Structure 1
Amino acid sequence: MSLIRRNLDVLDDNFFDNFMRDLNLFRRGNIRTGWAPSLDVLETEDEFIVDAELPGLNKDDINIDIHDNILTISGETKKEQRFQDENVFFRERHFGSFNRGIALPPNLNTDDVTATFENGLLEMKFPKTELSGRKIKIQ
């Protein structure tokens, strides 16, 4: 068996982030096909904030689920009827079902989440809690 030297300089800066994102989607069975909303994830001293761009949707078209510390945002955008029979020359908007999941940190209170939706931006705020744990004495 021979060792192969790898040139790690060829990996881009987002390699690990992309790997973790894809791994989270794969574990949940949500291999991304089509489109998914863009997310901003922010952390303050007191809370964890997730913003999702969902233009053209109503709040009733969006599903938010938290299971096993995985936040899943899903829904569907529909094509406008006026474009069904026309010759479309250029289309950049996305239509169809979407499903986006991200792993949440363990120190969040997922029972007190607030979610607002305004002008196509879904904002979820998760209050932080103290990490719980206990010290185990070795006998």
Structure 2
Amino acid sequence: TSRWMPSVDVREDEDKFVFLADIPGVDPKDIEVTCEHGVLTIKGERKAETEEEREGYKRIERSRGTFYRRFNLPDTADAEHIKANSKNGVLELTIPKVEKAKPRKIAVKS
């Protein structure tokens, strides 16, 4: 199987990070998203047509096979609450930012 690499846009909003990956023709059940040690991994497979389905083609340009992308997440990303949706050939991953620690006053004892 050949490898291909989907294009991915990454946006940072005030309260979240959004990853948008172009994956047309990929069944959501063939996608795996994991996050370990601050590294987000997106992998999956766009399945090739069978010989029967390829019959009659004069040209095949669309990539098939497995794909794999990795991204280092910033410390402000809340990896425990990642949401993933696939719609119209785009995988959208939403990663909220961790709640900012509220400053607190520390009493100094004498």
Residues 1-139 of structure 1 correspond to what in structure 2 (within 5 A)? 34-81=3-50, 82-83=53-54, 85-86=55-56, 88-129=57-98, 130=100
Tell me, in whole angstroms, the C-alpha distance in 2 between the residues paired with 1:108 and 1:124: 12
Aligned-residue offset at 1:36: 1.0
Compare the two structures and name the one with the higher strand fraction. Answer: 2
- TM, length-normalised to structure 1: 0.64
Aligned-residue offset at 1:68: 1.2
- TM, length-normalised to structure 2: 0.80
- The residue aligned with 1:7 is none
Where do 5+ consecutive residues of structure 2 fail to align?
A: 102-110
CA RMSD of aligned residues (A): 1.9
* Structure with more contact order per residue of length (Cα contacts < 8 Å, sep ≥ 6): 2
Runs of 4+ in 1 over 4 A off after TM superposition: none
Where do 5+ consecutive residues of structure 1 fail to align?
A: 1-32, 132-139
Compare the two structures and name the one with the higher helix fraction. Answer: 1
Tell me, in whole angstroms, the C-alpha distance in 1 between the residues paired with 2:48 and 2:92: 25
Aligned-residue offset at 1:94: 0.7
Aligned-residue offset at 1:90: 2.3
Identity %: 36
Aligned-residue offset at 1:47: 0.5
